[in-house]
Amino acid sequence: MTLSPAERSYIYDSLVSPQVARTDSRKPTQFRPLKATCSFLPNSNGSSRIFTADGLECITSVKAKVLRTKDIGELIKVDVDIQGQRDDSDLCLTTSSILTRSLVDNLDHSTLKLTDKYYYQLFIDIVILSLPTDFQMSSYTLYSLISLTSMGCYLALKSTRLPLLISTTNDKEVEEEPTFSDDWESCTDLIPKDSEYNPTLLFVVGIVGNNVLVDPSLEEQQVLEHGICVGYSNGKIVPPLESITLSTVGGGGVNKKTIFKGIDMVRQIGGVVEKALDLIAEQEPEDFERAF
């Protein structure tokens, strides 16, 4: 929905005031309601479904293949399909590229190592469905989708199960292909519960005046002056850290203080979001659908 000049001015004044008043009464650090489900695709090693109150839905599937390679960059393949967009559209390709880069750059390589010669190659397929009718395809749309899809990837990877390796892991001197157990009850987690590694989460922070706010709504997007996309993993700010150009009311600028304020906000809420997603990923299949 395109706002009128009067509506834009009213929302801008509400967001720029010292006491931030968001269009849906959320706090600056509060996300819109999300629901999620894990491990619902029977032919995938891991899967997730995450959707928002305004109808945006993201389905993620993870499939694993054994690959003999030393090229870590070949181990994660992300493919994004967006309803109403061509597979080779800039929006699909850019979303895929950013997600791939964020996962590879912060990857704990030991997570995918199977033996001395073999690694798991992960194929992450993402389908974005049910775009709201007023969801405008713009540069900001890209980062709105990336924030949601990064959560979908996080849940799918944390719920990924792999068959138990029963052959040797020391195959430097022996030409032996990996052998796995036929008993799926003995499968292992891709990311163990006690692992110090978590997949990267991407947060979008809007900047308006001296205020920052996470997960801006469609109306708020139209009046924000600037924004940043920030990666978070395991209590740390990680790549990417990118500037986002947004629409402007009144020609306000951006400064280092607000950028650091936005980064501090991500550092503050990142662990809370990780814990909430972990609770969903740890549920039994029949209890998976949870509000976030």
In this predicted model, what pLDDT tens digit does every residue of 262-289 receive, in sequence order? 999 999 999 999 999 999 998 765 444 4
pLDDT of 1 reads: 61
pLDDT in tens, 152-163: 999 999 999 999
Which helix or strand (DSSP H or E) is residue 228 part of? strand 226-233
47: β partners: 61
Read off the pLDDT of residues 72-99 as tens digits, 9 standing for 90 and up.
778 999 999 988 888 888 888 988 999 9
DSSP assignments along 99-142, one per residue: HHHHHHHT--GGGTB-SSSEEEEEEEEEEEE---TT---SHHHH
CA distance 110 to 115: 10
Provide the pLDDT for residue 291.
44
pLDDT digits (tens, 9 = 90+) for 205-261: 999 989 999 998 878 888 888 888 999 998 999 988 888 765 544 445 567 889 999
pLDDT given for residue 223 in this prediction: 87
What pLDDT, on the 0 to 100 scale, is given for residue 69? 81
Domain ranges in the chain are 5-287
What pLDDT band is residue 27 in, cutting at 50, 70 and 90?
very high
Sorted by sequence, the CB contacts under 8 Å of residue 138 that are 6+ apart come out as: none
Share of the chain above pLDDT 90, in %: 47
| Predicted pLDDT at 193 | 83
Percent of the chain's residues with pLDDT above 70: 88
What is the structure's pLDDT at 137? Answer: 53
Q: Is the pTM of this model over 0.85?
A: yes
Q: What is the mean pLDDT of residues 40-67?
A: 91
- In this prediction, residue 141 has a pLDDT band, given cuts at 50, 70 and 90, of low
Cβ neighbours of residue 36 under 8 Å, at least 6 residues apart? Answer: 48, 49, 50, 51, 151, 155, 277, 280, 288, 289, 290, 292
What's the token pair of residue 27?
């706090």
- Mean pLDDT over 120-132 rounds to 87
Amino acid at 18: P
Q: What is the CATH number of domain 5-287?
A: 3.30.230.70
pLDDT of residue 53: 78
Confidence band, pLDDT 50/70/90 cuts, at residue 105: confident
